[in-house]
Homo-oligomer: A and B are copies of this chain.
Amino acid sequence: MPSFKITLAYDGAAFSGWQAQPGRRTVQGELERAWLEITGETVRLNAAGRTDAGVHAAGQVVSVESTTTIPPESLVPALNSKLPEDAAVQLVECVADGFHATHDAKFKRYRYTIYNDARRPVFCRNYAWHIPTPLDVVSMQVGGAHMVGTHDFASFQSVGSERDSTVRTIFAVDILSPAAPGSARGSARPPTTLGPNDLRNAPRAEPGAAIITIDVEGDGFLYNMVRTIAGTLVEVGRGKRPPEWVAEVIAAKDRCAAGQTAPPHGLCLQWVAY
């Protein structure tokens, strides 16, 4: 059956995550309803990343099999007219039959945002983890470099996931902040070679505040992996652990070895490459 690829942004604050659940307001539920209203077809959508409640997406990719004759460029405004204001279709493309947004994803980039300021946040309250005490960003960058490469990330997987293998390849851990400008030491390639459409998501900053962004790019991610990476790097940034501790956490292959799971609202799926 013909397939469509939908690129979608959403503010996760008021959604119970991507995945459709009875009685809950979910992104999948809203988009499937919009698709039905526009095309008359009841479909099941597949997403590249099944984001949790509170998690945002700047460039989520969704696939759908459909026989609709509506041109893709017309589907964008049509679907948006049926979507709530906190979700927006950016692009619809015809793709090869059998395209599957989840299984065909080659790599993805997530951004974890930290608001590192003593003042209470207003504008980024739904988009960043508030840490009032100053973090040592350079130590976080050195720590993050240990994650780049192919490793068994079992220590960074929350209970509840059902992956066969916990080996993943991380291409880059780019940690940026006004206090430590330039590309992070943990980066395996320059942040200018980002990916399709350069779907970077500028942090929603408080005025004059220190925003720290942790971008993690990899070929796949375990459940809560980026949030656990962020929580682990924050332990390093707080000075509670040295940067080398990150290598020990990886080697332990034990979730208890890593730092806390950072809260969901700091996370954003930036883009997916196929």
Q: Once the chains are docked, how many angstroms separate the CA of A127 from the CA of B207? A: 14
A interface SS class: loop
Contact B201 A207 (CB under 8 A): yes
Residue of B10, B198, B199, B205 near A122 (CB, 8 A) is: B10
Chain A, 186-221, CB within 8 A of any chain B CB: 197-208, 211
Q: Are A9 and B207 in contact (CB under 8 A)?
A: yes
* A198 CB contacts on chain B under 8 angstroms: 207-208
User: B207 and A122: CB pair below 8 A?
Assistant: no
Seed contacts A85-B122, A86-B125; 12 additional CB < 8 Å A-B pairs = A9-B206, A86-B122, A88-B121, A90-B120, A123-B201, A197-B208, A198-B207, A202-B202, A202-B205, A202-B206, A207-B270, A207-B271
Binding site for B on A (CB under 8 A): 9-11, 56, 58-59, 80, 85-90, 119-125, 127, 197-208, 211, 270-271
